[in-house]
Structure 1
Amino acid sequence: MLRLFLSVDMVGSTEFKARFTGQGSEGWLGIFQTFFTSFPLMAAGQIGMEFLDDDATPAIDVWKVMGDEVVFVTSPTSAEELTSILTALLRTIQLYEERHFQRLPLRLKGTAWLAGFDGQNIEIEIPELSSGTGAHLDFIGPDIDLGFRISKFARPGSLVISLDVLEVVLGAGNADRAALYLMGAEPLKGVMFGRPYPIVWMLEAGERFAFLPWEIEQDPMMAQAAGMAPTPRAELTQTIEDMRHYLRKMHGRERAPVRLG
């Protein structure tokens, strides 16, 4: 089974909370409580609207909350469903910022990655956290770690996606709903035997990066993206094939194409 993990994290939260040093949590606690309660509800609403004309709406659950980050998990049944979930999440990020962060120095960024559980990744039931309505599952493995590695390269108002997610989106019948940007490659600890891993950002098609002027001034990747057009499909496909070729030739590893459903 393949599961899709979606992380949404606050940008600027550490500096914001530091403003209230010596004042306790009263100055910032309500803002974070609102995020952890309202964002999942808003995401569920956007996903419900996305699949309004479908027979069923994908179930998306909160896996865990860590610091200023909420991580969702779901099991998309098709490439089209996965792509629609990602576009709904992007809209949720945009709407939440517009409604709650207009006068606050806070932003949201997202990460999306896939993990399979028929081999190197495992699911663990945590009995202490189980309830009468079902078991609490935790997820462990290298593909889980990958998501948290690439999240370092997420930027406000957009998603950073893994190569597996990229491959699924490129093969979707609604791939034209996604605008994809290859931002270079970065070495990630414990990933691809040290070979730099491609960094891919996603927006909803027709949207532009909504970086603020001072964000662009301080971050070379955001400055680069602000003037970019979406990366051609052929270049993205070649990037995936290059990584597959590298794993096969240099490490004897076969990485089969990702298939959902």
Structure 2
Amino acid sequence: MVNENDIIESVKSIDLDNDSIEATTIEDNRTDSRSVVLFFGFDIVNSTQVKTMAYDSWTEILDGILKNVQETVNTKFREEVQLWRIQGDCIVFVCSVNKFDLNEKVRDVSRVLKKVNKWITDKTNSLNNLNYVYSFLGLQAFAWIGIVTNDLNDVRKHPFDNYSKKIKIRDTEVMFEFLGNDIDTGFRIAKYTRNGQLALSFELAYFLLENNNSILDLVTYKKLKGVWNNKYYPIIWYDNTDTKEGITQNFAFDAGESDELIKEYYQNKDREDQSPLRQVIQVKDLDMFTLGKEMMDRIIKDRRLSSKINEMRKLLINPGSVDELIKPSLIEMHCVAICYFKEGDDYKFLIAKRKNKDYMDGKWEFGCAKPRLQDTIEESLKDEYKKDFGVSIVPVCDSCRSDKSPIPFAVYKVIKQENSIQKGIIFAAEITNVEEMKRNIATKNFEKHSKVLLESYESIINRKNSSEQFVPDFFDSLRKVYSYLKKEKVSDVY
């Protein structure tokens, strides 16, 4: 039997110089419990100074920044991202990632950084009595990727893997902890970012570059404690400025004198000036201070990272089930809105045919939304249906209740796989942008559906005798809503 404590210790003791790892990686094509995960964090700049100078208000200020970060991340990534930890004035998130969305998700991290920094700047320029305090503050970011597994045997077989450990806090609540060399490396990198900058791990930068993302810049090389056997590691920043000046646009005019890291950056960029590092890090006919594929391939060769990079590439293309690695075991809830509008004395309803789905592909449905933890069901329905169909809706709510919540017309369950039962609730919602929706149907290609229609109740019922397929209880759900709208008994419209 595998001993968990022994494996955790073995993860910590792996020699990141990789001299022995290259030859001992065990071939295993099973990827179900393994996936590449994106970690990214934000750290408040000069928070210690503010705690000293604003002893009566620093909690309000720093808490406000962290809340703004979390809200901006949730808006940008929606349910894809999970808060991992808040440690001091640093907040870290985890997110699933694959070859096709890697660039966009890192770009979104950069966008969050810019947006929150702008919010801090706006606070500085406001007439608030705390604006002077905000002038000292800023936000910096860091990100890395790592192969993560929750199977202890994988850690033995794959020395590059990081371990996702689920910790039970109480009967209804769990948290995740992550252990491994990439986790340690990520927090080491965090030391070498600056206000407005996003520092990246070498592996993350490599795949961004491989995906033709050239907005990266090499700052310098540093020896990170315990990383690559304490050999030089490239400090790489993501350029989010969209300007010719690049990352230097975020530098203060005298940063080259006051900040040693930025001073090194300027020295390393000058090929004529043989900086101390340029004298140490040299390869004939190759500039190791200009970021590019040849330069990064040379690092992979010298640090013996090819097995790790190849394994990451395989999992980015064919990721395992990441939910079990980073997400708490919450009930998966689906909310359906049967959308309608009145036309004359009758009603028309929105129906849609599913496409590119592993489950119930090609069947007619009414759409679906997954409620988010931070939103009400009404907010989630409005947002998701607007995103999927371009339709504006107002859910039918219970006016007798103080919270005016949507009225449930039915509940359902979907069994996709063994031991996984998804629950759902069906609501009704009135369409308020009818003419716009009609134009959308005539001109728009919908991402999740091959066909979207607005049809009368009678027309939809007549489809029952056709060869078309429908999700379970499609007609029963429609009848319940229709009878409510017509103020009739359900049995009268069957």
TM-score range, shorter chain: 0.7 to 0.9
State the Cα RMSD in Å.
Answer: 2.8
- What is aligned with 1:37? 67
In the alignment, does 2:36 pair up with 1:2? yes
Give the Å deviation of 1:161: 0.4
Q: For each residue in 1:85-120, what CA deviation from the matched residue of structure 2 results, as whole angstroms up to 9, or x when unmatched?
A: 121221221121222244211111111101112434
In the alignment, does 2:69 pair up with 1:16? no
Out of 165, 170, 182, the position equivalent to 1:143 is 182
What is the one-letter code of the residue matched to 2:73?
A
- What is aligned with 1:110? 141
In the alignment, does 2:67 pair up with 1:46? no
Give the Å deviation of 1:171: 2.0
Out of 93, 97, 114, the position equivalent to 2:117 is 97
Aligned length: 238
Q: Structure 1 pair 11/256, CA: closer, same or farther in 2 (3 Å)?
A: same
Q: Distance in 1 between matches of 2:64 and 2:113?
A: 14
Q: Distance in 2 between matches of 1:202 and 1:122?
A: 27
Give the Å deviation of 1:220: 3.7
Give the Å deviation of 1:226: 7.2
Q: Distance in 1 between matches of 2:101 and 2:164?
A: 23
Local SS of the residue matching 1:95 = helix
Q: For the Cα contact (< 8 Å) 2:120–2:138, is it kept in 1?
A: no
Give the Å deviation of 1:201: 0.7
Give the Å deviation of 1:216: 4.0
Name the stretch that deviates more: 67-76 or 198-207. 198-207
Q: Structure 1 pair 236/253, CA: closer, same or farther in 2 (3 Å)?
A: closer
How does the TM-score come out when normalised to structure 2? 0.44
What is the one-letter code of the residue matched to 1:159?
L
Give the Å deviation of 1:180: 0.8
Q: For each residue in 1:45-92, what CA deviation from the matched residue of structure 2 results, as whole angstroms up to 9, or x when unmatched?
A: 2346xxxxxxxxx701110000000001001122x4121112122122
What is the one-letter code of the residue matched to 2:253?
P
In the alignment, does 2:292 pair up with 1:246? no
Q: Distance in 2 between matches of 1:28 and 1:131?
A: 34
Q: Distance in 1 between matches of 2:119 and 2:148?
A: 37
Local SS of the residue matching 2:292 = helix
Q: Distance in 2 between matches of 1:73 and 1:129?
A: 22
How does the TM-score come out when normalised to structure 1? 0.80
Q: For the Cα contact (< 8 Å) 2:197–2:238, is it kept in 1?
A: yes
Local SS of the residue matching 1:206 = coil
Give the Å deviation of 1:204: 2.4
Give the Å deviation of 1:27: 1.4
Q: Distance in 1 between matches of 2:260 and 2:109?
A: 25
Q: Distance in 1 between matches of 2:291 and 2:263?
A: 21
Local SS of the residue matching 2:80 = coil
Out of 249, 261, 272, the position equivalent to 1:221 is 261
What is the one-letter code of the residue matched to 2:226?
G
Greater RCO, CA 8 A, separation 6+: 1
- What is aligned with 1:77? 98
- What is aligned with 2:234? 198
Q: Distance in 2 between matches of 1:4 and 1:69?
A: 17
- Which consecutive residues of structure 1, in runs of 5 or more, have no partner in the other structure? 49-57
Q: For the Cα contact (< 8 Å) 1:11–1:109, is it kept in 2?
A: yes
Q: For each residue in 1:212-255, what CA deviation from the matched residue of structure 2 results, as whole angstroms up to 9, or x when unmatched?
A: 234443114335657969x999843233222222233xxx9843
Higher CA-based Rg: 2
Q: Distance in 2 between matches of 1:234 and 1:211?
A: 20
Q: Structure 1 pair 181/4, CA: closer, same or farther in 2 (3 Å)?
A: same
Q: Percent identity of the aligned residues?
A: 23
Give the Å deviation of 1:157: 0.8
Q: For the Cα contact (< 8 Å) 1:182–1:236, is it kept in 2?
A: no
Q: For each residue in 1:158-186, what CA deviation from the matched residue of structure 2 results, as whole angstroms up to 9, or x when unmatched?
A: 1110111011101225x25xx11111211
Q: For each residue in 1:190-212, what CA deviation from the matched residue of structure 2 results, as whole angstroms up to 9, or x when unmatched?
A: 11112110111111262433122
Q: For each residue in 1:113-132, what CA deviation from the matched residue of structure 2 results, as whole angstroms up to 9, or x when unmatched?
A: 01112434111111016735
Local SS of the residue matching 2:219 = strand
Q: Distance in 1 between matches of 2:76 and 2:307?
A: 37
Q: Distance in 1 between matches of 2:170 and 2:142?
A: 26
Q: For the Cα contact (< 8 Å) 2:217–2:291, is it kept in 1?
A: no
Q: Distance in 2 between matches of 1:45 and 1:62?
A: 13
- What is aligned with 2:80? 59
Q: For the Cα contact (< 8 Å) 2:40–2:92, is it kept in 1?
A: yes
